[in-house]
Amino acid sequence: MNYDTLFQNALDGLHADGSYRYFAELERHAGKFPKAFHHGVGRDVTVWCSNDYLGMGQHPDVLAAIHKSLDESGAGAGGTRNISGTNHYHVALEKELASLHGKESALLFNSGYLSNWVTLGTLAARLKGCVVLSDELNHASMIEGIRHSRAEKRIFKHNDLEDLEAKLKELPLDTPKIVAFESVYSMNGDIAPIEEICDLADRYNAMTYLDEVHAVGMYGPQGGGVAQERGLEHRLTVIEGTLGKAYGVVGGYIAASAALCDFVRSFGSGFIFSTSLPPMIAAGVLASVRHLRNSDAERKGQREAVALLRKKLEAVKIPYMPGQSHITPVMVGDATLCRELTDSLLKRFGHYLQPINYPTVPRGTERLRLTPGPLHTEEDLDSLISALDTLWTELNLPRSVA
Ligand code: PMP
């Protein structure tokens, strides 16, 4: 059997339905972001789709901390956390993250994906009879973790309290339950009714698991996320976050009670059997978290850039999905047009965006997802808006009515 033919057939299927993903080879240069050199077009472009929302990936404090710890500790961690891979930077970072969220403990993972996969997988598998109630728009990492646990799963309609309550009601009060949801949903940019979900969870005896991946660093007086902004951190059993988006580096974590973190540390095989993050990464993240606990300037600049972008989109009547978060989805509604738009933006105008197509979003809701940050200038915004305006006319795309 020629196995490569089997692989190729599957890939051909992706090409046929337009969902094959191409890499853009981007050379980021510290000090120049959001400009980056795009190898495909051989020039500097402006990046509008980065999850380094605040530019912390090039912040001098972060870079200095990484350099210092690299010189002190060398490149890698040298082992799994339980054997020889626990460095003082891991410990300091876990303490910082626990304190950021007002929790007893925190536990680091190599990515946000792993923190969801391992934590939900471990809790749901190890708590006998556990049922997971999962928002229908939850991220793949949560879905896969729940699937891996083989626990019973009930999917509730997105941010729908009535549907969640109906599903909770069907379960006996003494059945262990987890309500798993996100604060900021990354493709729509909408925000969950966290307080009301916690009220329901209390009423029906459920734990709450909140993915704040798109919110940590971004919301709350110290960047603790939407739960911190709304004073709700104590109501959540687990807060999960990434260190790769607003914090600008890489890694993931949970913050929760000491017993829960110890439970995942002790039973989660994806945690136990994997080499831990390099100390320099933990040191860089620590600098980033500390900086964003004390400085509001990046969040403020980011909010101003979003407000300005939306004002300028409105002025040329380009439709976007309004929402309370920093994510601005510009609606196109067609996969081919979406790709044509991003191709032309890149090749003719030097603006880099990825089209967001099926299966990431439902067919007919294809879109551009814009995440301007504090380092985009008004000139960058004007140049993007003028390019969009030209392409909207050329492709005969519908304008929004005021
Ligand atoms: N949760 C959500 C909601 C995400 O969007 C992502 C990343 N796109 C993750 C978890 C995974 O985080 P990381 O990139 O750190 O693996």
The whole-number average pLDDT for the span 120-131 is 97
Q: How far is the CA of 335 from the centre of ligand 1 (A)?
A: 23
Residue 191 has pLDDT above 70, yes or no: yes
What span, in angstroms and rounded, lies between the C-alpha atoms of 241 and 109? Answer: 10
50-to-33, 47, 263, 374 alpha-carbon distances in Å: 10, 7, 34, 12
Residue 155 has pLDDT above 60, yes or no: yes
pLDDT of amino acid 127: 96
Is any ligand 1 atom within 6 A of the Cβ of residue 110?
A: no
Structure confidence at residue 359 as a pLDDT band (50, 70, 90): confident
Q: Which amino acid is at 379?
A: E
Supply the ipTM of this predicted assembly: 0.99
Atom of ligand 1 nearest to the CA of 242: 15
- Within 150-278, residue ranges assigned H as helices are 161-169, 194-203, 226-229, 258-267, 269-272
Q: How far is the CA of 108 from the centre of ligand 1 (A)?
A: 14
Structure confidence at residue 402 as a pLDDT band (50, 70, 90): low
Global pTM?
Answer: 0.96
What span, in angstroms and rounded, lies between the C-alpha atoms of 380 and 332? Answer: 21
Token pair of 230 as six digits: 């709304």
Structure confidence at residue 401 as a pLDDT band (50, 70, 90): low
The whole-number average pLDDT for the span 309-318 is 97
What span, in angstroms and rounded, lies between the C-alpha atoms of 395 and 357? Answer: 18
What span, in angstroms and rounded, lies between the C-alpha atoms of 350 and 234? Answer: 45
CB 237 within 8 A of CB 260: yes
What span, in angstroms and rounded, lies between the C-alpha atoms of 234 and 228? Answer: 9
Q: How far is the CA of 113 from the centre of ligand 1 (A)?
A: 5
What residues act catalytically?
A: 245
For 207-250, what is each residue's pLDDT tens digit?
999 999 999 999 999 999 999 999 999 999 999 999 999 999 99
Pocket probe for ligand 1: among 56, 97, 113, the residue whose CB has the most ligand atoms within 8 Å is 113
